[in-house]
A and B are shown apart, each in its own frame.
Chain A
Amino acid sequence: MKRQANVRIKTLKIDGIDVGAREGETILELARENGIHIPTLCHLDGVSDWGGCRLCLIEIKGSNRLVPACMAQAEEGMEVFTKTPRLVTYRKMILDLLLSERNHVCAVCVSNGHCDLQSMAQELGNTHVGLPYLNPSLPVDATHPYFIMDHNRCILCQRCVRVCREIEGAQTKGAMGRGIEVRIIHDLNEPWGQSLTCTSCGKCVQVCPTGALLQRGKAVGEMVKRRDFLPYLQMMRED
């Protein structure tokens, strides 16, 4: 009887498929292992989870609350659903909110064709935005010698903030303001080029899902990001 308390493997169901999870594994990790795709924009392998984009919301049998798959831990006997009609509807609406929030003009964006937001719209079948555009007036910070931050394309996923803090350890990037006024800032809201803490490592640029962070000199569609270094870095550090 005592042995049962030490069972570390949990068995559960995702979309009707039986799966086995390690202790502490999230539903998102588990789903990916088993070839079940759950959309997300703020999750990034190699850094901590944020739970802000709400695209990976899932339903768990017996609970009427939706939880983000990236932060929900697998429990014994759970029955998880990732593609119920209402989840699909909410995801499309959330994406509409993101597309209406700032000025995402794919046709003239450096990341056209290599953008997570753009492909998410395609994946979820958002052929148009059902909400009026908010058309905010936002600056572009081009003070850094190598990189540019275009707030018009930012979706506030905070991947850059997390990679800067957790992997590079510079803590240059942060967020300020409330609600719709939240902005990604450098140090104490200084121009990026004047940041004393930025190491110009460029990790933030590579992890940015959209064209908000880019390398100087890139034209439309030229900004291709590399993400493979992150899990690798993390793995090497663990060893």
Chain B
Amino acid sequence: MHERFDEITQKELADNRAAQHVVKVCVAAGCLSSQSAEVKTALEQGVNGRSCKVKGVGCLGLCSEGPLVAIEKHLPDGSSQNIMYQNVTPEDAPAIMESLDKEPVARLLCPTDVPFFQRQQKIVLENSGEIDPERIEEYIAADGYRALITAVTEMAPFEVIEQITRSGLRGRGGGGYPTGLKWVTVAKAPGPDKFVICNADEGDPGAFMDRAVLESDPHRVLEGMAIAAYATGANEGYIYVRGEYPLAIARLKTAIRQAQRMGLLGSNIAGTTFSFNINIRLGAGAFVCGEETALIASIEGRRGQPRPRPPYPAEYGLWGKPTLINNVETFANVPTIIRKGGDWYASIGTAKSKGTKVFALAGSIVNTGLIEVPMGTSLRDIVYEIGGGLPNGGVCKAVQTGGPSGGCIPASYFDTPVDYESLKELGSIMGSGGMIVMDESASMVDVARFFMEFCMTESCGKCVPCRVGTVHMYNILSKIYQGEGTPRDVELLEKLCDMVSVTSLCGLGQSAPNPVVSTLRYFRHEYDELIAGANGSQTAVAPTTEVAS
């Protein structure tokens, strides 16, 4: 198998070098929504006999400046030169093509020597923006599927798990549960039938990490799943991907078909006894289906509602069989860990949080987009260095991490290194990696209300605290925000926060109060001011009546 891969790699490299210029157009959802497909067509039409290859690639990261086009120029000495263009329109195509052998088009240049590009360290996104996500050959040429072949032909399942355990990799979906431990549990669970599920039901507002991975490098996820299946003894896999990601679904389907054709999925992978198939299941837009037991119910064709754990899916999962569920980004880390070794991976990051993490930067920030940084990078670096700060030199008030289950971290804590433990200590969570930056104008009560509304409408309605508690909390937050709150409302709100988080059935309800708790912790004065304003209008009336009587 490795020989065949070498052959493909040689051919790909040769093809690549044959063209003097490789023009890479981002065709992930962000850039596609600003006409990058048209840009690509226009560029292809402009080739006109030049020694130039135009191809679609995955996310280049700086989504706010899309469509992005990267150009790789091969120099005679064998080295290459890279430039990037931003905000490219189809009308710019002729100018870009004309300039290939001359000076670059200055007005479109996107500086790449800035922290946004320099400070990142890419593992999960290493192929994003480099390879064509619709061609398995390019993934193979980028060392893809080698880890799988190595694993199934040269390693015993427990050796694979050992590498994952040594890497210190933790679940990237939000919980941060040690991945190696999860794999061991499933591997040790008795029974011939086991399943591997990839959770691609990314639903946090402002989060788009998993989508980018699936759209930019789908094979990486398939490979990670296959390695996991080999390690745990599973032979059937499911990707549960939300229906709102049509492009990711299309690319996954293409990738699965290609991998099957190459014998990398299916029966007797690489001539071994290991067989593994992957099916796609589409979510219908319910946030709660990101919760693993609800996700399993949904795959089984039942109403997407969680059930109490234990038993955990590792013992009693899909169709009652031992099931491994990991998130997209977790699986995407696996091939590199197997290829480079667990110890290598563990050398990146902090003491308890290893490796890198992909974050989606959104909100009031200059560089909206996707970044991958080592665990332990400070929020200040992420917001002000990599993120380029706030537009028009605005002052950052807080960063919301972890989506509706997370919390707001005030600017005064920006020097905290970002890892699972430190975020938890600050009353937030790592979550799946969404970061929403807020400037001074943001009302934190309104922020809390927004996320509470999200949880309220996304509650599945199974357990009472989440179903009804979130409604009461939302009503109280609205009342306070509209200037009609009383100190008693805050008291009640705090009681409800505690009760809902402790008594709810699943993670959705248990974490629903987090945005309220964290804004109460750091921005209590905003609540108090709104309430004082409300009472102020009443006390203002009192003296007048006294004078009148």
Instruction: Indicate if A140 sits at the interface (CB-CB under 8 A).
Output: no
Q: Which of A176-184, A210-218, A230-238 contacts B (4 or more CB under 8 A)?
A: A176-184
A101 and B459 alpha carbons, distance in the complex (Å): 15
Given the complex, which residues of B lie within 8 Å of A50, measured CB to CB? 462
For window 29-60 of chain A, which residues contact chain B by CB distance below 8 Å? 50-54, 57
Q: Known: A131-B472, A178-B286. Is A97-B461 also a contact (CB below 8 A)? A: no
For window 449-482 of chain B, which residues contact chain A by CB distance below 8 Å? 456-472, 475
Give A176's nearest chain B residue, CB to CB. Answer: B303
The answer to whether A54 and B463 have CB atoms under 8 Å apart is yes
A100 and B472 alpha carbons, distance in the complex (Å): 9
The answer to whether B461 and A98 have CB atoms under 8 Å apart is no
Give A41's nearest chain B residue, CB to CB. Answer: B464
The answer to whether B472 and A54 have CB atoms under 8 Å apart is no
- Select which of A66, A98, A175, A181 is within 8 A of B464 by beta carbon: A98
A50 and B460 alpha carbons, distance in the complex (Å): 14
Q: Which of B187-195, B391-399, B411-419, B498-506 contacts A (4 or more CB under 8 A)?
A: B498-506
The answer to whether A90 and B456 have CB atoms under 8 Å apart is no
The answer to whether B461 and A57 have CB atoms under 8 Å apart is no
A53 and B504 alpha carbons, distance in the complex (Å): 10
Q: Known: A97-B469, A97-B472, A100-B472. Is A52-B464 also a contact (CB below 8 A)? A: yes
Give A70's nearest chain B residue, CB to CB. Answer: B308
- Select which of B460, B466, B503 is within 8 A of A66 by beta carbon: B503
The answer to whether B308 and A51 have CB atoms under 8 Å apart is yes
The answer to whether B503 and A179 have CB atoms under 8 Å apart is no
The answer to whether B468 and A97 have CB atoms under 8 Å apart is yes
The answer to whether A94 and B464 have CB atoms under 8 Å apart is yes
A172 and B492 alpha carbons, distance in the complex (Å): 40
Give the bracket for the number of chain B residues in contact with chain A. 20 to 34
A89 and B465 alpha carbons, distance in the complex (Å): 13
Indicate the member of A57, A101, A156, A178 with the most B CB atoms within 10 Å.
A178
| CB of B485, distance to nearest CB on chain A (Å) | 13
Instruction: Count A-B contacts at CB 8 Å.
Output: 88
| CB of A191, distance to nearest CB on chain B (Å) | 21
Q: Known: A66-B502, A90-B502, A90-B503. Is A179-B459 also a contact (CB below 8 A)? A: yes
Interface SS of chain B: helix, strand, loop or mixed?
A: helix
Given the complex, which residues of A lie within 8 Å of B503, measured CB to CB? 54, 57, 66, 90, 94
Given the complex, which residues of A lie within 8 Å of B424, measured CB to CB? none
Instruction: Indicate if A71 sits at the interface (CB-CB under 8 A).
Output: yes
Instruction: Indicate if A134 sits at the interface (CB-CB under 8 A).
Output: yes
Given the complex, which residues of A lie within 8 Å of B475, measured CB to CB? 132
The answer to whether B463 and A52 have CB atoms under 8 Å apart is yes
- Select which of B458, B461, B463, B499 is within 8 A of A90 by beta carbon: B499
Given the complex, which residues of A lie within 8 Å of B288, measured CB to CB? 178
Q: Known: A66-B502, A94-B503. Is A181-B463 also a contact (CB below 8 A)? A: no
Q: Known: A68-B308, A179-B456. Is A156-B465 also a contact (CB below 8 A)? A: no
A52 and B467 alpha carbons, distance in the complex (Å): 10
A54 and B288 alpha carbons, distance in the complex (Å): 18
The answer to whether A178 and B458 have CB atoms under 8 Å apart is yes
Given the complex, which residues of A lie within 8 Å of B146, measured CB to CB? none
Instruction: Indicate if B11 sits at the interface (CB-CB under 8 A).
Output: no
Instruction: Indicate if B307 sits at the interface (CB-CB under 8 A).
Output: yes
The answer to whether A179 and B458 have CB atoms under 8 Å apart is yes
Instruction: Indicate if A142 sits at the interface (CB-CB under 8 A).
Output: no
The answer to whether B505 and A179 have CB atoms under 8 Å apart is no
Give B470's nearest chain A residue, CB to CB. Answer: A179
Instruction: Indicate if B525 sits at the interface (CB-CB under 8 A).
Output: no
The answer to whether A97 and B464 have CB atoms under 8 Å apart is yes
Instruction: Indicate if A67 sits at the interface (CB-CB under 8 A).
Output: yes
Instruction: Indicate if B495 sits at the interface (CB-CB under 8 A).
Output: yes
A84 and B471 alpha carbons, distance in the complex (Å): 27
Given the complex, which residues of B lie within 8 Å of A132, measured CB to CB? 472, 475
Instruction: Indicate if A93 sits at the interface (CB-CB under 8 A).
Output: yes
Q: List 10 A-B contacts (CB under 8 A).
A: A51-B307, A54-B465, A66-B502, A68-B308, A97-B469, A98-B464, A175-B461, A179-B460, A180-B461, A182-B467
Partner-A contacts on B (CB < 8 A): 286, 288, 303, 307-308, 456-472, 475, 492, 495-496, 499, 502-505
Partner-B contacts on A (CB < 8 A): 50-54, 57, 66-68, 71-72, 89-90, 93-94, 97-98, 100-101, 130-132, 134, 155-156, 174-175, 177-182
User: Lowest 10 CB-CB distances: which A-B pairs, in order?
Assistant: A182-B461, A179-B459, A97-B468, A51-B308, A101-B468, A52-B462, A71-B308, A52-B463, A93-B499, A54-B503
